[in-house]
A and B are shown apart, each in its own frame.
Chain A
Amino acid sequence: MATLNILILVCLGYVVLLFGVAFAADRMAAAGRGKWLRSPLVYTLSLSIYCTAWTFYGAVGNAARSGLEFVTIYLGPTLVMVSWWWGLRKLVRVGRSQRVTSIADLLSSRYGKSNTLAVCVTILAVLGGTPYIALQLQSITLSFSIFAEADPSGLYREGSSVFWVATGLAVFAILFGTRNLDANERHHGVVTAIALESVVKLFALLAVGVFVVWGVAGGMSPMMDRIDASEIGRWNVDAGRWTTLIFLSAAAFVCLPRMFQVMIVENDDEGHLRMAAWAFPLYLLLMSLFVVPIAVVGLDLLPEGSNPDLFVLTVPLSQGNDWLAMLSFIGGFSSATSMVIVTAMALSTMVSNHVVMPIWLNTQEGLGSISGDVRNIVLMARRVSIAVIMALGYFYYSLSGGGTALSSIGLVAFAGISQILPALVGGLFWRGATRTGALVGLTVGFVLWTYTLLLPGMGGVWMPETVMQNGLFGLGWLRPQALFGIEGMDPMVHTVMWSLSLNTVAFCITSLFSFPSPLERLQGAQFVNVFDHSATPRGWTGSVAQSEDLMIMTQRILGAGPAQEFFQTEAEQQGGRSRLPEPTPGFLNRLERELSGSVGAATAHAMIGQIVGGSSVSVEDLLAVADESAQLLEYSSQLEVKSAELSRTARKLREANTKLTQISEQKDSFLSQVSHELRTPMTSIRAFSEIMRDTKGLRGTEQTRYAAIIHDEALRLTRLLDDLLDLSVLESGQVSLNVGDDSLRSVLDRAVSSALAGTDEKLAVRRSRASERIPLHTDLDRLGQVFINLISNAQKYCESPDPILTISAHDVGGRVVIDFTDNGSGIPPEAQSMVFEKFARVGVDKAGGAGLGLAICREIMQRLGGEISYLPGQGGGAFRVSLPLAYQQAAQ
């Protein structure tokens, strides 16, 4: 008797084997070896995750209950595969050319990259997927319990085993599904492991079947007799259910997220479909070949009331064939684990790409460019999603108690996920299908499915008996299992019929009456006419692409290490001498696929398009940027930020250019001014010196007078040169300040006396010396220079017959403010803004100043951390000087 311990050991050993296979396959794929990893056989075998534990155990149970009805679940997919030329080929082509990462991504992409739709599909998929995962957990637990019953040690506890199984599966999915950011690319490790598992489960079921037919029943014809003699020995299939289930399984086969993952996303080569088209139906046929014999033998051999869902295990056990039972247990374990792993991966991709990432990107608004963090965020989002999905499955299992027959949960999930079908088929074949139509159709189907199948199945609080009997709000035609008063239908047929037909009707009518956005119409055309648009997925022409730019961008998204590795490998493969690969179309395509794993297909495409430029940036990309109705949520928000950044930069450049032009003009006019100011005194000097040289008999007084003019003009030149020098030193900021301490009063004293010295013009200076007792810590000489300038300006320009200059000082919160007000006419308003500019002179220059004084004052005050300004409306010329009491370096 196989003990539980051996069973657990075998399980662990098997899991270790799977890990090893997955790891080795990943390594081989990374090293570029292992072409068989991409063979059509592996592809076909990976499709067999369609056969879950429900199929493995439940088909026999179903056969034991309803005869041949179980076969419908296989006939649907068979028909889909056989008609690959119609549908799957197109789906795979679209999936590859649009680089979709999940069924939600496909629908969102088709309907104008609508994230709303993607979120809806994701929710539907999670809702449908959770019970399904619970179902797998239950099957593993049940099979454990069969062995536990036979194990005398009885250490087995159901709850904890489920928990550990769930945890183990989550770890596997996280390890191999999110090892690197390749989610929309191929997971060679996982796919290979799944292919192995599918071989194991087929082998196990065939082994049990062979054992039953030849070991127990004694050959083909006795078996056939036994079948006909059994309680299910007559053809007794409900016509409605037969048709409905074939249709339903066909629909679910295409719509299930895990099937989409292995069939479309993991597809390496469209040509693989050719083999899968016959090989996968063959696999299904083999899987179902011995189902009826096992069921019949089980019904015969085992006591009344034993669970037919577990005949695959219990029949060999009852015959004492422990090792066969063990093999079949491993087969069931394989079915459950592979399904759970792929489902978790597919759902986590959907959740992270359509729920977590849009939210995250939205909160990151303003950051603009993508930092290296994105990759960790995506990975983390996927890992957490996997954990959460597994936890959901675990809780669903714990809460539901695992009572329902296995296959009915599976069918409920099928019916739920099939609600996607109208939108999917419509999107592929009908250009008129719109986003609104898809949303309305999905919603109608989803609501009907929930109301007529999901909730009644859960029973209890979720669907009170009164509603079941009398309908919602007591309305008879709203009874969940007899909508519109049509009674007596099988609940499953009832739900599928109503939900899918009303879903389709709503989808079509809404599509007809709504109008698609431009992007939607464009995508619609690309999907429906995919064979016209793309011989192969769109290629890049990278003649102008800059490998270095690509490298920089890739580093920011993938991180430095992986990016460099990727480029290095590419360069080596090209056999080039340079460390960067040439931007060949093949390389660009691979790079885009690499990038789309972390930022999504649309963004990756647009980003490469921006760098590569040229014709490969499709209208679609441009529309994605321009079309405001394309919901901000998805990646377009990034594009918008980028384009805003570009226009900001352009504006800055324009501003800088204008400023440079202005500066250049200012420089020209300054030079011209300087030239004028220098030439004017030179002219007088030259003229009078020539007069004195050439004129004979010049009178003494004339001689003295002309010499005085020459002297004055020479002084004026010197002053001008001094001022220019001073100004240039101040403006260049290289002036060294000589900071000292004194009171404002003594600075003013010195300034007044030196400004008024040596002039005969009378200027009365009025001061309130008491208020000037303010201690200053600043460059006293420079401040004095400003004061002198202001005082002599008043002296020069105040036209009043009795010129008076009033100087008043205030201490205003750490700053001192000094006003110089004269009683002249002041500066006319139009000239006030000009007075501090260089060479700005107001009116006739009486004293021959160069017009640099106030410009110098302004520079000085800026150096001292203060300012000088003209005070309008003071009844005369008025200047205000303000500066901090204590000069600080930082004040500049």
Chain B
Amino acid sequence: MTAEGESERKPSGQRPSVFLERQSYRRRRLTDAARLLPFLGAALFALPLLWPGLSAEGQAVPLSSAMFYIFACWGGLILVGLIFGMAARRLRTRDESETEADQWRR
């Protein structure tokens, strides 16, 4: 995602209209990703519910593994959020005027 963002940085200043479509397409897909993220997170955090508990005698997942899983998922969410935030910001600062125009169209 970052790489794509970088490649689009090149045409600066006056942009041909071809890129406008692409910009706004990219922003929409990015928005979609951002919208899906919480569902992914919820699913990941719900997964431990399927793990066997103490009642399953001895089969229970060790706390260290559980911690590792939870914090890994957590970290992953943060990372994706960070990437999304940066990408969104880059897109936004680059076509501030288009953002407004886009809002008009909506």
Asked if B35 and A85 make an inter-chain contact with CB atoms under 8 angstroms apart, the answer reads yes
Restricting to A514-552, which residues have a CB under 8 Å from any CB of B? Answer: 531-532, 535
Asked if B77 and A234 make an inter-chain contact with CB atoms under 8 angstroms apart, the answer reads no
A348 to B37, CA, bound (A): 36
Known contacts: A235-B48, A237-B48, A278-B85. The answer to whether A79 contacts B38 by CB under 8 A is: yes
Known contacts: A68-B63, A233-B62, A271-B89. The answer to whether A82 contacts B38 by CB under 8 A is: yes
A779 to B59, CA, bound (A): 121
Known contacts: A234-B60, A274-B88, A278-B78. The answer to whether A535 contacts B67 by CB under 8 A is: no
Known contacts: A68-B70, A242-B49, A246-B45. The answer to whether A281 contacts B81 by CB under 8 A is: yes
Q: Which of A78, A237, A274, A532 contacts B74 (CB 8 A)?
A: A78
Write out the residue numbers on chain A whose beta carbons fall within 8 Å of the beta carbon of B34: 85
Chain A's interface: helix, strand, loop or mixed, by majority? helix
User: Which of A101-109, A142-150, A224-232 touches B?
Assistant: A224-232
* Minimum CB distance partner of B55 in chain A: A236
A230 to B66, CA, bound (A): 14
Write out the residue numbers on chain A whose beta carbons fall within 8 Å of the beta carbon of B78: 78, 278, 281-282, 285
> Does B54 touch A at the CB level, under 8 Å?
yes
Known contacts: A67-B63, A228-B62, A535-B103. The answer to whether A236 contacts B53 by CB under 8 A is: yes
Min CB distance B74 to A, Å, is 5
> Does A277 touch B at the CB level, under 8 Å?
yes
Question: Can you list, as one digit per residue, whether each of B36-63 has a CB less than 8 Å from chain A (1) or not (0)?
Answer: 0110011001101101111000001111
Asked if B46 and A243 make an inter-chain contact with CB atoms under 8 angstroms apart, the answer reads yes
Write out the residue numbers on chain A whose beta carbons fall within 8 Å of the beta carbon of B66: 68, 235
Min CB distance B99 to A, Å, is 9
Asked if A274 and B89 make an inter-chain contact with CB atoms under 8 angstroms apart, the answer reads yes
* Minimum CB distance partner of A40 in chain B: B85
Min CB distance A781 to B, Å, is 87
Restricting to A667-715, which residues have a CB under 8 Å from any CB of B? Answer: none
Question: Interface size bucket, B side?
Answer: 35 or more
Question: Can you list, as one digit per residue, whether each of B68-106 has a CB less than 8 Å from chain A (1) or not (0)?
Answer: 001100110111011011001100100000001001001
> Does A301 touch B at the CB level, under 8 Å?
no
Restricting to A207-235, which residues have a CB under 8 Å from any CB of B? Answer: 224-225, 227-228, 230, 232-235
Min CB distance A567 to B, Å, is 31
> Does A473 touch B at the CB level, under 8 Å?
no
A292 to B65, CA, bound (A): 12
> Does A86 touch B at the CB level, under 8 Å?
yes
* Minimum CB distance partner of B38 in chain A: A83
Question: Interface size bucket, A side?
Answer: 35 or more
Min CB distance B9 to A, Å, is 18
Write out the residue numbers on chain B whose beta carbons fall within 8 Å of the beta carbon of A243: 46, 49
Min CB distance A236 to B, Å, is 4
Q: Which of A75, A233, A235 contacts B45 (CB 8 A)?
A: A75
Asked if B38 and A292 make an inter-chain contact with CB atoms under 8 angstroms apart, the answer reads no
* Minimum CB distance partner of B74 in chain A: A285
Write out the residue numbers on chain A whose beta carbons fall within 8 Å of the beta carbon of B49: 239, 242-243
Write out the residue numbers on chain B whose beta carbons fall within 8 Å of the beta carbon of A289: 71
Instruction: Give A contacts to B, CB under 8 Å.
Output: 67-68, 71, 75, 78-79, 81-83, 85-86, 224-225, 227-228, 230, 232-237, 239, 242-243, 246, 271, 274-275, 277-279, 281-282, 285, 289, 292, 531-532, 535
A-B contact pairs, 8 of them (CB 8 A): A67-B63, A68-B67, A75-B74, A86-B35, A227-B67, A232-B63, A235-B62, A285-B75
Instruction: Give B contacts to A, CB under 8 Å.
Output: 31, 34-35, 37-38, 41-42, 45-46, 48-49, 51-54, 60-67, 70-71, 74-75, 77-79, 81-82, 84-85, 88-89, 92, 100, 103, 106
Having A79-B42, A235-B52, A242-B49, one finds 20 other A-B pairs with CB under 8 Å, namely A68-B70, A71-B70, A75-B70, A82-B77, A85-B31, A85-B34, A85-B35, A227-B64, A233-B62, A235-B51, A235-B54, A235-B61, A235-B63, A271-B92, A274-B88, A278-B84, A285-B71, A285-B78, A292-B63, A535-B103
